[in-house]
Amino acid sequence: MQIHGLQKLTLLDFPEHLACTVFTGGCNFRCPFCQNGGLVLHPEEAPVIPEEEFFEFLEGRKGRLEGVAITGGEPTVQADLKPFIQRIKSMGYAVKLDSNGQNPAVLSELISEGLVDYIAMDIKNSKARYGETVGIPGFSTANVEKSVALIMGSGLPYEFRTTLCAELHDETSVREIGEWIRGCRAYFLQAYRDSEEILMPGVYHAPEKETIEHFREILLPYIENVTIRGVD
């Protein structure tokens, strides 16, 4: 398993769990507003934490940490994700997985074998604007749609979330997202934040706070639990 980062303690990444966060490299999307551009484009250039070093860390945190959040990049592009999670679970830790939903077969296997306890999936945009948003012209949302249906029917705690950019999201796309994931358990709206790690820095901007609040009002007829996250 290629581990390119470890946050040793988080109170936010894994709801209701004291956890650590593992960062993997590589991704099958090219979202121009991605916060981890280096991990997506050039994971081979990022420092690597040896797997055994990570498991030694977990061994030493037994009784203090409750879970491990696995994020990226996109974790499901890692060929050894399943045995990695199996080992984490064998140590008594709960696992939260972040995913873009493009590998529903991987998600299905992990869910069916009881290897994940919480899933957070990005909903990049409405189906009509997905290709533009993930940086892949002509993109088919078929796999993403399968993952949405799979997660909503899994019985697991989960959340969907969208990072909002003024240039990519408007009333129409937000309404279409609501229609798509109608009745989902929890949906979070996050504002884009520029940084040096962005795939295309300086191009995109966060919507105004009032706009994000308006988007939430648009969504409420479709989704009861819509929360704005990380907006001052």
**pLDDT, tens digit, 9 for 90 and up, residues 112-163:** 999 999 999 999 999 999 999 999 999 999 999 999 999 999 999 999 999 9
Q: What is the pTM of this model?
A: 0.94
Percentage of the chain beyond pLDDT 90 is: 84
Q: How confident is the model at residue 47 (pLDDT cuts 50, 70, 90)?
A: confident
Q: Average pLDDT, stretch 55-63?
A: 97
Q: Tell me which long-range contacts 222-226 makes (C-beta under 8 A, separation of at least 24).
A: 222/178, 222/179, 222/181, 222/182, 222/183, 223/178, 223/181, 223/182, 223/183, 223/184, 223/187, 225/185, 225/186, 225/187, 226/187, 226/188, 226/189
Q: What's the topology of domain 3-163? A: TIM Barrel (3.20.20)
Coil/strand/helix, residue 9: strand
Q: How confident is the model at residue 231 (pLDDT cuts 50, 70, 90)?
A: confident
Q: Look-up: residue for tokens 């491990």?
A: 68
**Given this model, what pLDDT does residue 228 score?**
97
